[in-house]
Amino acid sequence: MNVLLHIGSPKAGSSFLQSVSARARDELASSGIHFPVGTPHDESCMQRGRISAGNALYLARFLSAGEWSRVEAWLKTSMAAARVRSCGTLLLSSEWLLGSAAERGRLEKLASILKSQGASRIELLVIVRDPPGQLISLYKHRAKAGSVPSIDQWVTKGYGLPDRLSRLRHEVDISGVDLLVRAYGKEPGALERIFFEDWLQTAVPAQAQSALVNPSLSLSELVLLRRLRAYRAGLVPILYERLLAVPLPSKVEGQAMSRFAQQVAVNTVAEHAAEWQVWNEMLPAAERFKIPIAGPAPGEEPSSLELSGEQLSAVMELLADATRPRLIAQLFWQERLRPLLSRMKQALFPWHTRR
């Protein structure tokens, strides 16, 4: 059996590809590819086109914890299910596997278990993207709850991707598994072709045409959420959803904020230029990206925010709803009742989590 593991990297289309694969599970099976069902939470997210941990969260957790008996049992069940469906390929996808596989000795042991269970081919797929753009996109994802500092502060502790990639290379060399590296492309259809046609050797599922996962906010919107959190944290997820609903063409990114973030990203990536160059050389020549050279210090984060009329309308609507019973009830649920019920659930059913 072929065992193919798509393990990231972050902000390179993983959730989109997982969503398409989950929706096209039967279509993939007809091509001999078994895509196991994820946890209830992640399966729901994949079917609805939301951010997910893919279908291999449990495997990543067991692998990271070194719980080898559970790794073996999980893989045995997944491979048996593939054989029942007459599939010769087991497809697993989760960005959590990137961190797990980068831990010392984990990938080598995983490969040994897979071979003992009949795997004849084991391959990792890592999709990388233009490093400065990936850094900014990753920051946007991390900052959407309003709890992350400005990007220049975040990169000092929150940008650990080059280190994880370095450790992964070392573990791949030790384990002897195959590693395929491809580049993320924003042009329509590029990502699907890499994943389905080139890697899985199957047609791009029809579900890919309507899938849209993980839209992000503008940098100015993220600063707005951070500042709102200092006054009322419970309002942050409500404003986030309202800003998310504003169509992208109706948004203003903010030139000053964009220049600031871009310079931070360029300087940070340049500090890890040697590592990025190694990954660049693993890409097909046509997909290689330009590694930036450090420039001047970006200074402080701009104090002014740039928002369009529609973005401001979303804020005004929230202010208008602030005294209405519906929003008050929503805040009571988010800030008081839901956390209380969650604590009660953990106390009464410690082994039953959403994932």
CATH number at residue 69: 3.40.50
Long-range contacts of 183-187 (CB under 8 A, 24+ apart): 183/127, 183/128, 183/129, 183/283, 183/284, 183/287, 183/288, 183/289, 184/12, 184/13, 184/127, 184/128, 184/129, 184/130, 184/134, 185/287
345 pLDDT band (50/70/90 cuts)? Answer: confident
Same domain, 23 and 92: yes
Residue the block writes with tokens 């990502």:
191
Structural domain count, the chain: 2
Percent residues over pLDDT 70 in the chain:
97
112-149 pLDDT, tens digit per residue, is 999 999 999 999 999 999 999 999 999 999 999 999 99
Task: Report yes or no on 58 lying in a domain.
Answer: yes
Max CA-CA distance within the chain? Answer: 63
**3-class DSSP state for residue 129?**
coil
Same domain, 19 and 58: yes
Q: Tell me, what's the pLDDT at 164?
A: 97
Residue 227 scores a pLDDT above 60: yes
Mean pLDDT confidence for 244-263: 92
How far is it, in rounded angstroms, from Cα 219 to Cα 255? Answer: 10
277-317 pLDDT, tens digit per residue, is 999 999 999 999 999 999 999 999 999 899 999 999 999 99
Same domain, 168 and 117: yes
Percent residues over pLDDT 90 in the chain:
81
How far is it, in rounded angstroms, from Cα 239 to Cα 20? Answer: 28
Same domain, 183 and 78: yes
350 pLDDT band (50/70/90 cuts)? Answer: low
Mean pLDDT of the chain: 93
Residues 93 and 14: beta-carbon distance below 8 Å: yes
Q: Of the candidates 209, 234, 267, which is a domain's last residue? A: 209
Task: Report yes or no on 316 lying in a domain.
Answer: yes
What is the full DSSP assignment across 29-67? Answer: HHTTEE-----HHHHHHHHHT----TT-HHHHHHHHHT-
Mean pLDDT confidence for 84-96: 97
Torsion (CA) 185, 52, 96, 114 in degrees, nearest 10: -90
Same domain, 313 and 199: no
Residue 322 scores a pLDDT above 80: yes
N-terminal to C-terminal alpha carbon distance within the chain: 28
How far is it, in rounded angstroms, from Cα 97 to Cα 122? Answer: 14
Same domain, 201 and 244: no
Task: Report yes or no on 295 lying in a domain.
Answer: no
Same domain, 196 and 232: no
Residues 288 and 128: beta-carbon distance below 8 Å: no
Residues 155 and 301: beta-carbon distance below 8 Å: no
Q: Tell me, what's the pLDDT at 25?
A: 96
DSSP for residue 117: T
Same domain, 168 and 229: no
354 pLDDT band (50/70/90 cuts)? Answer: very low
Task: Report yes or no on 234 lying in a domain.
Answer: yes
Q: Tell me, what's the pLDDT at 120?
A: 95
Q: Is the dihedral of CA 105, 107, 111, 114 positive or negative?
A: positive
Long-range contacts of 325-330 (CB under 8 A, 24+ apart): 327/238, 330/238
Same domain, 237 and 175: no
Mean pLDDT confidence for 312-325: 91
How far is it, in rounded angstroms, from Cα 4 to Cα 42? Answer: 19
What is the full DSSP assignment across 213-255? Answer: ------HHHHHHHHHHHTT-GGGHHHHHHHHHTS-GGG----H
Domain span at residue 320?
A: 221-252+308-347
Task: Report yes or no on 23 lying in a domain.
Answer: yes
**3-class DSSP state for residue 19?**
helix
Give the chain's radius of gyration (CA, Å): 22
Mean pLDDT confidence for 69-93: 97
Q: Tell me, what's the pLDDT at 100?
A: 97
Residue 98 scores a pLDDT above 60: yes
How far is it, in rounded angstroms, from Cα 217 to Cα 261? Answer: 14
Mean pLDDT confidence for 83-88: 97
